[in-house]
Every structure is written in C-alpha cells, then in structure tokens.
Amino acid sequence: MVIEKIGLKEDACFSLFEKKDEWERCLEPDEKPVDVMASWDKEKDKKKSTEEYMFMFKKKIFLKDDDREMEDPAAKDLIYKQAQHSVISSEYPCTVDDAIRLAGLQFQIVYGDHNPQFHVPKFLLPSLKDFVPKTLFSLKKPNEWEALILAKHETLVGKDPEDAKSEYLNIVKQWAYYGTTFYPPCKSVGNKLPSKYVIIGINYEGIRLLKKNKDLISEHLFTEICSWASSSGTFAFEFGNQNESQKYTFETKQGAIIASTIQTYIDILVQMLKNGEDEDDESESTTTTQSDG
C-alpha cells in the first residue's frame, strides 16, 4: 500500500520498520501493521511507557550497484531523505567541509535558488539544526554556520533540485560508512576488544565493530565469517578459516534483527553470484553455437 501510494517502482531493497525510541526492527513479510499497533497499546498500558512508537518505510539493503533505484524518482527521494537523516543525526561521521557542502545542497533542494531578498542573515537560524550534523553543531556559533551555508548555497544558482539530490548522494556514497546499518551499543562478552561497549554495523561487505564514537575496531568480510547466531538477549558470530577461527559474543536485544539482516545480504549476494554464473554459461553457449555455425 505504501509502495503504491508513493509511486515506488524499485522497491526490492525497501521495508517497513517498527521504531521505539532508539530501537527499531524490520517487520516480517506476513506481519500486519495493525497487529503491531495493538501490541504498542498493550505495552503502553502494561508498562505505563512514555516511549515513542512509529513506523518508518526506508531502505533496508544497500548494494554497490543502485543505478536502477537512482532512475526511479520515488526511490531516489527516499534514499536522499534517509541519507540526509543519517548525516544530520551524525549516524554517518562527517567533516566540517562536507557538512557545509551538504547543507548548501540541502538548502538548494528545500528553498531553490539563492534569493538576496529573503536568504539573508537569521533566515536559517530557526531551522539550523536541521542542516548541521549533531556532533558538529557546537564547533561553530550558529551565525557562523549560517553564513557558511548561505555562501555555499549562493554558488549553486541554477542547479536543479534533482541534480542537487544526486550530488548530495554522490558525496555521501564515498564515505566508508554509507549504507551501513548501525545497531545500538551492546556489551562485549568475553571478547578481547579495546572497548567494553561496541556498535555493530552491517553492510553488503560484512560486519563492522566500532567504538561508541564510531572509530573502527575491526572489520569482518562475509567471506571470512563462518557462522552467526542469536537469542533473545545475545548475538554472536565466528570468523576465520577452517584451520583457525575466533568467536565474538555480545549482549543485545537486537540479536535476531542483526542475524536477519546478515542472512538477507548473504541470500542476495548468493543470488547475484548465481545470476552472474548463469549469464556466463549463456554467453559461453552463444559463443559455442556461433563457432559451430
């Protein structure tokens, strides 16, 4: 229903998510939102909870090749908005220079070309936090941020909003953490890691372990991951080779979601590999037929 309403054509990598404060999970294909909402009401009554509950429709799987999505205006807009949220919330670490470039492009998308009558000092101040990454905001005074963003925006006169979205995404896609799904910090259990609490990140390449400040601890490609498992309160994975392997275990309520995301990536990558082999077989068959002719 959501897909039809927004006119999304390239929907394969998008899903509906349930979100409660910082916790979120992807709904299963057979789950009905109305049933999930009923569980929210029961939980609120039982715990007298003040948590915020909501649904989010967003991109779940990020693959290296997303050309078809970029050609679908609805998909491109969703990906842009999701990237923008990840930048402003500092989910993706960002430099000051990149923050200014991105804010200028965002301003162009929202307000169009620079207008010297309206885009003057104090114009952006009321909504400045919607344009500057959270962890960078305190590095400059609000009027300094505004002046830099307005100056950048003034250089973008004539740029079409769709082109501005493309440029915004092209910048963000160069970052190491783009397309990584991060899960809330979880406790490391019996692991020889430099940090007691670790952020687990999953992308199309594998698993990343990071400190709370997003500094990388270690990276584990899917090709070296031997197995993974989850329970209601833990997530674990084993990596290495047939001769030597190591296991990491973490305390987290998101274990099943992390495991499900890994499985989804594995299934897609296996299917892509199979499709590539099928295409190679067809190509060889065609070459052989032409040679016989």
Could you report the per-residue pLDDT of 188-240, keeping only the tens digit for each?
998 889 999 999 999 999 999 999 988 999 999 999 999 999 998 999 999 99
Provide mean pLDDT across the span 106-117.
96
DSSP state of 1: -
Residue-wise pLDDT for 138-155, tens only, equals 999 999 999 999 999 999
Residue-wise pLDDT tens digits, 161-187: 999 999 999 999 999 999 999 988 999
C-alpha to C-alpha distance for 182 and 2, rounded to whole angstroms: 25
Amino acid at 163: D
Handedness of CA 205, 57, 255, 89 (dihedral sign): positive
> Residue 120: its pLDDT value, please?
94
Helices assigned H by DSSP within the chain:
2-6, 33-47, 67-70, 73-88, 96-111, 142-154, 161-172, 255-292
Worst-scoring range by mean pLDDT, 3-7, 50-54, 212-216, 227-231?
Answer: 50-54
Cα three-residue angle 202-208-214, rounded to 5 degrees: 105
State the average pLDDT for the chain: 89
Return the number of other C-beta atoms located less than 10 Å from residue 69's C-beta.
Answer: 22
Residue 265's closest CA among 28, 29, 24, 62?
A: 62
CA atoms of 208 and 69, how far apart (whole Å): 25
Q: Is the pLDDT of residue 282 over 80?
A: no
CA angle 111, 88, 82 (to 5 degrees): 80
Query: Rounded mean pLDDT of 229-255?
Result: 92
Q: What is the pLDDT of residues 57-105, one digit of tens each?
A: 999 889 878 888 999 999 999 999 999 999 999 999 999 999 999 999 9
Q: For position 253, what pLDDT does the model report?
A: 87
- pTM for the full predicted model: 0.84
